[in-house]
C-alpha cells in the first residue's frame, strides 16, 4: 500500500525515480509525486492519478538532481488529490518527506504544531510528521527525525530530504517495509525490492525501529534511539524479467499462465516420493513441537484466507488435527484462546498485511507456536514467525492474487501430508498424493489451454451485474475465491457460497439468465452438487460448470463447461481455481476494467 522510492548517487535520478514508481504502482496508484534538491531549494512535482500523469508533468516542468524522493499513493487520510499527494514539505519548504503507513495521533500533533505556529496545506497525517521533524530540526536531520518519531504513534516507512543537506536521505521504518539497495556509490531506498532490482541485488532490510542515513559516499544504520546497528547485506532473489510483462497484456494474465512453473517452484526439493515424505526445511527447528500439535489456527486475509479454508480441509482430512481458519482482523480482537499445543499459521503473499501481522504477534504473545507461509522473502511476517516456509512462486505484481493462491495450496497440502505421516496417513497414501502433486503443473497447462473458450463464454455475460459461485467441500473455498476474483477486478457483484447454503436465502436472487458458476468436479459430493444445479436451472438461471474432463453427462445439465483433468479431491482446488481466475480476467478485460490496478485496491494492505 503506497510505494516509496528514493535515490542518492552520482546519476541524474528523475528517470530512476519514475521507473521505480512504475514498478511500485501496483502498491497504490491514486496520486504520485517527487521532490529533489535543486539549486539549494526543494523542488516538488505532484499529480493526482497514475504515474503517467506525474511523468507528463515532469516532462513539461523538469526536475533535475542526483538525490530525490518519490511516492505513489493509496489514500488513507485525505482524498486522492494533488494537494494530498506526497512528497509533503514542512511549512518552511526546507524539508521533504514521503510516508507509507498511518500516524494515529496526527490530530493531537497537528493541533499542537498549529499552536507552535506551524501551518498546513493538506489533509494528510504525513504533512503533520514532516512539520514535526521541522519543529525539532536544528541542523541535524537524523536527530530531528529521531525526536519526531519519538512522538508518533502509528506505522511508518519514511524517506526524508532536506535542502540543507542536498545529498542526504534519512529513512526509517516501523510497521511498513523499507529496504536499501546498495550499489557502487549509489543507493536506492524503496518500500519494495521491485524498485531496486534494476540497479542492484544487494540490499539491507531495515527492521522496525531502525533508520538509515545515506549519502553517495556511504550509509549508516541506527536505531531510532541513536545506537549504531550493523546490518548484513542480503541478496534480492528475483530478477528483473520476473517483474516485467514479458509479452502479456497484464500481470494478472502472466501470473495465471505462470502457475505451472510457480507451482513447480513451490514443490522443488520438497517432495521425497520414495519415502512418501514432504520436506519442509523451514519447519525443521520446530518439528518436535509441530509433531505434538493439538490444534491449528490458520489466520490470513482475502485470498490467503481462502487458501487457509482449503488448508482446514487438508489438515483435518489428512492429518486429523482440529483446524480453524480465522480472519486475521477478527482473530486479534477476539481474545483468542491459545492453549499449549496450539499452532498458529499466518498465510500471506506479501508478508506485510497489517492485520495478519498483528494476528501473528497476538498469537506469539499468547504463547502459540507461530508459523508463516509467506511469499516475499525477508518480509515482516517471515521475519517475525518462529519458523516458516516460503512459497518461492516469484513476485506477484497483479493486484488480484492468483499464483500465490495455488502455491499456498501446494504448501498446505505438503504440510498436511507431512503432519499426516506422523499421525494417520500411511506411506502409500502419502506417496500417491505426492505423486499427484508433482503432476499438477502439467494438469494446470491443460486447464490454461481453455483460456480462449473461457474468454468466449465471458463475452456472453459481460452485462451481468450479479453472479453466484457455488461449490462444496474442498471446492467451497474455491467458490469464494472465484467470486472474490470476479468482483475485485470486474466490479460485478459476485457471491461465493457452499452450494447447499443457496437454499437458505440466496436462491431468491436467481432469475432468468443470472449466471451461476458451479464447481461440479467428480468426488464425494458430486451428486449433491448436481441437485443444486437443477435447483438453479429450474429457476431460469444460466449455469457455468467446472467439471472433470471425462464427465460427458454434465453437458445435459449446464450451459457451459470448463474441464479439469482427473485429480484426487483434496488436490482438486489447485485445478478448479484456474478457470475461475481466467473467467474473472476475461470478464474484466471485456468490461474495460484496469485489471492490474482495480479501483480502490492496492497490493499489500499495510493499514488495518
Ligand atoms: C485478492 C487479494 C487480497 C489478498 C489479501 C491478503 O486477490 O489479493 O485479498 O489476498 O489482501 O494479502 P497477503 O496474502 O499479501 O497477506
List, for residues 394-414, the tens digit of each pLDDT value: 999 999 999 999 999 999 999
- Pair 371, 350: CB distance under 8 Å: no
**Substitution site in 176, 301, 581, 604 for ligand 1 pocket (most atoms within 8 Å of beta carbon):** 301
pLDDT the model gives residue 74: 83
DSSP 331: H
The residue whose CA is least distant from atom 5 of ligand 1 is: 302
Q: Which residue ranges of the chain lie beneath pLDDT 70?
A: 1, 607
Question: Cα(53) to centroid of ligand 1, in Å?
Answer: 27
Please write the tens of the pLDDT for every residue from 177-220. 999 999 999 999 999 999 999 999 999 999 999 999 999 999 99
Q: How far is CA 418 from the centre of its chain?
A: 27
Considering only CA atoms, give the Rg of the chain. Answer: 25
Q: What is the per-residue pLDDT for 527?
A: 93
Taking the centre of ligand 1 as the mean of its atom positions, its distance from the CA of residue 603, in whole angstroms, is 7
Residues pairing with 46 in the sheet: 33
List pocket residues of ligand 1, CB cut-off 6 Å.
301-304, 348-350, 353, 356, 400-401, 484, 488, 604-605
By residue count, the chain amounts to 608
Neighbours of 452 (CB within 10 A): 9
What is the model's pLDDT at position 405? 98
- Res 27: pLDDT: 78
SS3 of 144-176: the string is HHHHHHHCCCECEEEEEEECCEEEEEEEEEEEC
Q: What is the pLDDT of residue 601?
A: 82
488 vs 581: CA distance, rounded Å: 11
Looking at the CA of residue 356, tell me the nearest atom of ligand 1.
16
Residue 70 Cα to ligand 1 middle (Å): 25
pTM for the full predicted model:
0.91
Pocket test for ligand 1, best of 353, 485, 599 (most atoms within 8 A of CB): 353
Pairing of strands 387-390, 369-374: parallel
Which among 443, 123, 417 is positioned nearest to 276, based on CA atoms? 417
Looking at residue 556, the DSSP 8-state letter turns out to be G
Domains of the chain listed by start with CATH number: 2-236 (3.60.20.10), 248-438 (3.40.50.10490), 443-594 (3.40.50.10490)
- Give 602 Cα–ligand 1 centroid separation in angstroms: 9
Amino acid at each position: 500500500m503506497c510505494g516509496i522510492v528514493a535515490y542518492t548517487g552520482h546519476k541524474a535520478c528523475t528517470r530512476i525515480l519514475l521507473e521505480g514508481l512504475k514498478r511500485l504502482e501496483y502498491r497504490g496508484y491514486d496520486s504520485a509525486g517527487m521532490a529533489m534538491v535543486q539549486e539549494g531549494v526543494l523542488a516538488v512535482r505532484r499529480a493526482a492519478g497514475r504515474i503517467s500523469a506525474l511523468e507528463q508533468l515532469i516532462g513539461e516542468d523538469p526536475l533535475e538532481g542526483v538525490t530525490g524522493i518519490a511516492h505513489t499513493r493509496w489514500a488513507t487520510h485525505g482524498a486522492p488529490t494533488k494537494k494530498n499527494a506526497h512528497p509533503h514539505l514542512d511549512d518552511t519548504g526546507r524539508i521533504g518527506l514521503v510516508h507509507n503507513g498511518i500516524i494515529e495521533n496526527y490530530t493531537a500533533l497537528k493541533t499542537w504544531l498549529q499552536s507552535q505556529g506551524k501551518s498546513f496545506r493538506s489533509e494528510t497525517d504525513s504533512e503533520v510528521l514532516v512539520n514535526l521533524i521541522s519543529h525539532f530540526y536544528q541542523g541535524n536531520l537524523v536527530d530531528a527525525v529521531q525526536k519526531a518519531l519519538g512522538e508518533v504513534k502509528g506505522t511508518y516507512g519514511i524517506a526524508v530530504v532536506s535542502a540543507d543537506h542536498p545529498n542526504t536521505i534519512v529513512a526509517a521504518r516501523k510497521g511498513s517495509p523499507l529496504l536499501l539497495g546498495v550499489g557502487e556509490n549509489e543507493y536506492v531506498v524503496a518500500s519494495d525490492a521491485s524498485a531496486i532490482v534494476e540497479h542492484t541485488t544487494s540490499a539491507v532490510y531495515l527492521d522496525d525501529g531502525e533508520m538509515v542515513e545515506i549519502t553517495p559516499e556511504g550509509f549508516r544504520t541506527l536505531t531510532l534511539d541513536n545506537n549504531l546497528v550493523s546490518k548484513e547485506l542480503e541478496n534480492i532473489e528475483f530478477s528483473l524479467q520476473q517483474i516485467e510483462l514479458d509479452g502479456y497484456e497484464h500481470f494478472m494474465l502472466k501470473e495465471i499462465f505462470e502457475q505451472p512453473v510457480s507451482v513447480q517452484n513451490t514443490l522443488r526439493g520438497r517432495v521425497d516420493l520414495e519415502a512418501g515424505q514432504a520436506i519442509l526445511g523451514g519447519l525443521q527447528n520446530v518439528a518436535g513441537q509441530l509433531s505434538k500439535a493439538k490444534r491449528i489456527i490458520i489466520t490470513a486475509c482475502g485470498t490467503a484466507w481462502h487458501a487457509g479454508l482449503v488448508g482446514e480441509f487438508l489438515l483435518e482430512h489428512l492429518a486429523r488435527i482440529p483446524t480453524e481458519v480465522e480472519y486475521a482482523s477478527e482473530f486479534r480482537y477476539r481474545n483468542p484462546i491459545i492453549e499449549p499445543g496450539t499452532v498458529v499459521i499466518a498465510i500471506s503473499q506479501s508478508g506485510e498485511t497489517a492485520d495478519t501481522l498483528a494476528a501473528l504477534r497476538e498469537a506469539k504473545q499468547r504463547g502459540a507456536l507461530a508459523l508463516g507461509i509467506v511469499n516475499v522473502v525477508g518480509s515482516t511476517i517471515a521475519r517475525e514467525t518462529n519458523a516458516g516456509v516460503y512459497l518461492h512462486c516469484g513476485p506477484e505484481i497483479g493486484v488480484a492474487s492468483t499464483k500465490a493462491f495455488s502455491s499456498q495450496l501446494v504448501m498446505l497440502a505438503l504440510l498436511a501430508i507431512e503432519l499426516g505421516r506422523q499421525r494417520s496417513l500411511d506411506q502409500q497414501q502419502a506417496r500417491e498424493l505426492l505423486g499427484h502433486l508433482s503432476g499438477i503443473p502439467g494438469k494446470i497447462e491443460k486447464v490454461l489451454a481453455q483460456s480462449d473458450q473461457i474468454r468466449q463464454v465471458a463475452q456472453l455475460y459481460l452485462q451481468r451485474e450479479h453472479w453466484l459461485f457455488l461449490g462444496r467441500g474442498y471446492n467451497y473455498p474455491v467458490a469464494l475465491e472465484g467470486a472474490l476474483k470476479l468482483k475485485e477486478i470486474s466490479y460485478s457483484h459476485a457471491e461465493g457460497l457452499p452450494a447447499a447454503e443457496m437454499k437458505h436465502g440466496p436462491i431468491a436472487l436467481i432469475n432468468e439468465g443470472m449466471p451461476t458458476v458451479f464447481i461440479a468436479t467428480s468426488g464425494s459430493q458430486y451428486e449433491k452438487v448436481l441437485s443444486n444445479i437443477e435447483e438453479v436451472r429450474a429457476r431460469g438461471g444460466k449455469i457455468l460448470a467446472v467439471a472433470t474432463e471425462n464427465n460427458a453427462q454434465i453437458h445435459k445439465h449446464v450451459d457451459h463447461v470448463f474441464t479439469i483433468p482427473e485429480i484426487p479431491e483434496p488436490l482438486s482446488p489447485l485445478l478448479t481455481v484456474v478457470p475461475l481466475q481466467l473467467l474473472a480476467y476475461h470478464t474484466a478485460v471485456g468490461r474495460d476494467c484496469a485489471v492490474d490496478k482495480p479501483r480502490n485496491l492496492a497490493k499489500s494492505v499495510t493499514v488495518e
